[in-house]
Copies of this chain bind each other. A is one copy, B any other.
Amino acid sequence: MNAPVAIDYDRVVSDTQSDGRRPVFAAERRQRILELVRANGAVSLRELAQAVHSSEVTVRRDLRALESEGLLNRHHGGATLPGELSREAGYAHKVSLEAAEKGAIADLAGALVEDGDAIVIGPGTTTQEFARRLTRHAELAVVTNSLLVAQVLAGSPRIEVMLTGGTLRGPILALVGSAAEQSLAGLRVRRAFISGNGLTAERGLSTPNMQVAGVDRALAAAAEEVVVLADHTKVGVDTMVQTVPPDRIDHLVTDDAAPRDVLDDLSARGVRLHVAQF
């Protein structure tokens, strides 16, 4: 079903050697696609097809293959760099996860703050929820290394918010590194509200990331008392780096789905417990 094709492809002699060189190989095309996406951050399917001189179907196939390798993200109409948008999805999932528990914990922890206090707040979804409860307080001075906490409190004129410096750790929107730790060095506040990734009676608070661990230690060191906010999914689990030893934890705020034996152990070590009921 074709008239004599008058189209002159750029593909030329291929009969001579099996070691042909002119035809555009699939791997080369995919490499170019990847370069284009990396260069622009987001490229439409049509542009890609035009750029590599192939049909949209072919590009679509390539994109599917590249996506399965995790090299890019595919969307309606084109492709984007991985991570830029998928991060939000991951974070969104975390927010909705145990949202009710986090809220109850935040409520309970709010009772540990009084007007006129100076406190430190670490990063995390639970502490962010906790920060929301603070807007009703007056004359608070809050130090934090979390951009999300800072933004939550930004609109409250009666709360003074100070951010530590430091390099931004994208996935959690928190400041880490030596600059962050140093800016906390000369500080002394009443209480620190921290929420790590794991908490056991033996090793205390822990987190899987070295940099985050460093700042968490600095946050705890700046406060007279350390308050740990941890929902039941974190109680009893241990992650890589220890940040706050058990005897340095003064309060633990959690929910009643946390394992009892761990709570008892912690209580025996002098940690005051605040358990949110459902």
Contact = CB atoms under 8 A, between A and B. Distances in A.
Interface of A: 1-5, 16, 18, 22-23, 25-28, 30-31, 34, 38-44, 46-47, 50, 69-71, 75-78, 80-85, 87-88, 92-93, 95-96, 99, 103, 129, 132, 135-136, 147, 150-157, 160-168, 170, 173, 175, 179, 183
B27 A155 contact: no
Given A92-B70, A96-B70, A160-B167, A155 B84 contact: yes
Given A3-B4, A165-B183, 14 more contacts: A2-B5, A3-B5, A23-B42, A23-B43, A26-B75, A28-B85, A30-B88, A69-B92, A82-B95, A83-B129, A147-B151, A162-B165, A163-B166, A163-B168
Please list the 9 inter-chain residue pairs (A to B) with the smallest Cβ-Cβ separation, ordered nearest first.
A165-B165, A161-B168, A23-B44, A87-B155, A70-B96, A69-B92, A154-B170, A84-B155, A25-B75
26 contacts: A3-B5, A16-B46, A22-B41, A23-B43, A23-B47, A25-B42, A25-B76, A25-B80, A27-B80, A27-B85, A34-B88, A41-B135, A41-B155, A82-B95, A83-B129, A83-B132, A147-B150, A147-B151, A153-B168, A154-B170, A162-B166, A162-B167, A163-B163, A163-B165, A163-B175, A165-B166
Nearest to A71: B92
Contacts of A160: 167
Q: Chain A at the B interface: mostly helix, strand, loop or mixed? A: mixed
A263 to B, nearest CB: 27
Nearest to A129: B83
Given A3-B5, A183-B183, A69 B46 contact: no
